[in-house]
Amino acid sequence: MRPPADPPLIRITDFDGARDAARPLDRVENVRAAGVALRTRMLRGRPVPYYRSMELVRVPYPAKFGYLNGFGTLPPFIHLCNRLFVVQFHGSDGLKTLLVSPSDWEFQRATPFFKRLDESMGAFSKLGEALVFRKVATVLERLAEIGLAPEDIDYITYDHLHTQNLTRWLGGHGKPAVFPNARLLVMREEWMSAQALIPWHNQWYCPGGIDGVPMDRVILLDHDTLLGEGVALVRTKGHTEGNHSIVAHTPDGLKVTSENGVSLDAYVPQLSRIPGVADYARATGAEVILNGNTLEYGVDQYISMVQEKAIAGPDPRDERLPNLAPSSESAGYWLFPRTAPSFTVGDLCYGSLARRETPRAAA
């Protein structure tokens, strides 16, 4: 099968040099100003025709990582809801369908952190799994629900590759790809990093998660990139080396997605009612709380979260909050009391699913 042609990608230069200042707080302000410039420009264009996010699965996650330094007296775990985002946009060669964060969670359990968690429960493993893993729907079930076939998917991207296994989606080792026309958009650093991990990183990457994926299915990005009208991938290094955020222009402004923070509370910690979070923000002056499990670039992650807030701007429904949609959002859970965020994004839906303007040529 012939791989699809390279997409026309437009380089975004607003953030070039914004992190070069010697003084970290200067970097924060330079990135903030560049974020506002990008937002202003993107908002002059049209929103994407379709944007939707849907819950896939809920998994336990250590509170000490989710709210780094600010977890106070929380129980050891929070519950993270992994969402799939489906975004359609107009590229220069027609309508495109992008999946953001299509977590193939049936494979995620091989990630060493989850595997050890499983083993630590011993004989109670099955009960533990039933209690703390809530499996709502698979990616393919979600796509079928909204009327998309696997061959309709043009691109997939993940803000970073922790826990992900792409081999089923993109094929390899002689196995066909479930998404026969899709290509992965990934930052070069993230792709390289996932191939040779340091022993504390490796606890969060799925072993073999990218092994054998054909390189003609992978687009390595070196820059902030506009994919088409109203969708950009912006490098937001920190949570991982090659982390990026997905920016999509919706009728409610620019929605920005990543896992740098695990809830809106992490981006407005001074307003949070989660025990410890606001106290920490007040005591230190921190304007964001990092999601730090691998701590690859802590200072950069702080700057990246400020960057995300600047690009997103305020949520038109509540102007105190940034217009973010975390890819893994802490959801609260009775087993983990007092961990529910004060502000929740939940599932979002804008527009209606558009049909292709021209039938796809047989590959």
**What is the binding site for Zn ion (CB under 5 A)?**
162
Maximum distance among all alpha carbons in the chain? 61
CB of 199 to Zn ion, least distance (A): 16
Nearer to Zn ion, 162 or 237 (CB): 162
Q: Which residue is nearest to Zn ion (CB)?
A: 162
Residue whose entry in the numeric block shows the structure tokens 């849907």: 54
Nearer to Zn ion, 19 or 162 (CB): 162
CB of 293 to Zn ion, least distance (A): 6
Nearer to Zn ion, 79 or 162 (CB): 162
Nearer to Zn ion, 242 or 313 (CB): 242
b or e along 323-359 (b: 16 or more beta carbons within 10 Å of the residue's beta carbon)?
A: bbbbbbbbbbbeebeebbbbbebeebebeeeeeeeee
3-state SS assignment for residue 112:
helix
CB of 198 to Zn ion, least distance (A): 15
Nearer to Zn ion, 96 or 162 (CB): 162
CB of 239 to Zn ion, least distance (A): 6
CB of 64 to Zn ion, least distance (A): 14
Q: Are 209 and 103 in contact (CB under 8 A)?
A: no
Strand 253-257 to 94-100 pairing: unpaired
CA quadruple 116, 119, 124, 129: dihedral sign:
positive
Nearer to Zn ion, 32 or 115 (CB): 115
CB of 351 to Zn ion, least distance (A): 29
Measure the CA–CA gap between 146 and 135, rounded to whole angstroms.
19
Measure the CA–CA gap between 30 and 113, rounded to whole angstroms.
36
